[in-house]
Structure 1
Amino acid sequence: MKFVLLGLGNPGDRYQDTRHNLGHWFVNRFSSDCNAHFVNSQDFSFSSFTFADTGIILLKSTRFMNANGTGITNFLKRNLSSNDLFMVVHDELNLPFGRVKLSRGKSAGGHNGVRNVIEELGYPPLRLRLGIDSGRSPDMILSDFVLSKLSTEEQKSLDSLFPKLKHAIDLIFSRGISFASNYINRYPIPSPSS
């Protein structure tokens, strides 16, 4: 079995550590945590390794957010069989910062990167949605908010959250998507040892 995870975000240092790049943050951290690294290709940078006896392929688009799904259909046709899984990891404005939802069969919910992936695939994929709403000011332009840098405290919160997200990935393989959803969709998310 293989599991392909596409982390949504914008390329380049300018967008690193912004709210809109939480998909990139997750796949970067997952790759680093498993002592793997990214290799550049035409449409995606990718990192591949084994985790929990499962082949993992992490992807980051080389394009900007609104075109993150470009080329994904061809990639999946070449690299996935019917028994394999595909999931998109992205920031979610409709969830408070620190909340996480594992969802399937849902619309893009106003997220242009997700919309592009759905348009490319022709169906809504499994998604790991990472909340970014930290009580933005009503007069703050939405694009300014999602492209704003995470605070030091928020980055520390993400560091604490990562082991739980990684455990959820393990649960998807070992216990199934429904069980993993019940674990990750709780707040606060239990520690992996719970």
Structure 2
Amino acid sequence: MIKWIQQLFSSSTIENKTDNMKKFLIVGLGNIGAEYVNTRHNIGFKVLDFFARKEGLSFETVKLGALAEYKFKGRTFFLLKPNTYMNLSGKAVKYWMDKENIPVENILVITDDLNLTFGAIRIRSKGSDGGHNGLKNINLVLNTNMYPRFRFGISDEFKKGKQVDYVLGEWTAEEEAKLPERYEMAAEIIKSFGTAGLELTMTSYNGK
């Protein structure tokens, strides 16, 4: 009888772990407020907004952010736009990781990157914050930098001392015209991350 109960709990634990591995937290970094909507720093929000429109999803205001849920091929994707402002993004990430019991390897953080040319994509399994305040706070709160991130290049076409103005500035008309194609690829990357896995996604999309 005791052995049967132990087997039952063991089986239940395995099933729970399996279910958790099928859940993914996709975090788009950005700042809330109308003045930030079309800024380069808000590319994480814009990618998730595009994905939601494409898939017919709606964001719901929840604790520490806006959340949309997407089911695809047996997986559940939680799309999160933190409302904590960039510098406190980690608080929202940690809360929703814990609430949905999502392992750190199933998080994908989407962020802008000054070190990449406009529209360039770089997906990594870990890394430093690279001077990005959102990643810096996530690293601090999670106490690790061992989580996947999807960096979207915004280039560094700014004059000395103008980095903040550039990052919080709006896209040029030329950049705006090229963004839809990049958004389409970003949507593919999100799906690939949850279905094909990180390694294959990196192989398939890095450098495109």
Q: TM-score, normalised by structure 1?
A: 0.89
Q: Which has the larger radius of gyration?
A: 2
Indicate whether 1:42 and 2:42 are aligned: no
State whether structure 2 residue 144 is matched by structure 1 residue 123.
yes
Distance 2:104 2:129 in 1: 25
Q: Report the 3-state secondary structure (helix = DSSP H, G, I; strand = E; otherwise coil) of the residue aligned with 1:17.
A: coil
Alpha-carbon distance between aligned partners in 1 of 2:97 and 2:68, rounded to the nearest angstrom: 15
Deviations 1:120-161 (A, max 9, x none): 11112210000001x513335110000010122212211011
Question: What letter corresponds to residue 157 of structure 1 in structure 2?
Answer: K
Q: What is the letter of the counterpart of residue 58 of structure 2?
A: H
Matching residue of 1:113: 134
Q: Higher strand proportion, which one?
A: 1
Number of equivalenced pairs: 186
Aligned mates of 1:36, 1:110 — CA distance in 2: 32
Dislocated runs of 4+, deviation >6 Å = none
- Give unpaired runs (5+ residues) of structure 1: 190-194
Tell which deviates more after alignment, 166-175 or 47-56. Answer: 166-175
Q: Higher helix fraction: Structure 1 or Structure 2?
A: 2
Q: Which amino acid aligns with 1:144?
A: D
Aligned residue identity for 1:77: D
RMSD across aligned positions (CA) = 1.7
For residues 173 and 185 of structure 1, what CA distance do their matches in structure 2 show?
16
Answer yes or no: is the 8 Å Cα contact 1:93–1:132 preserved in 2. Answer: yes
> C-alpha separation between the residues in 2 aligned to 1:166 and 1:47?
14
Identity of aligned residues (%): 27
* Aligned match for 1:97, one of 118, 127, 133: 118
TM-score by length of 2: 0.83
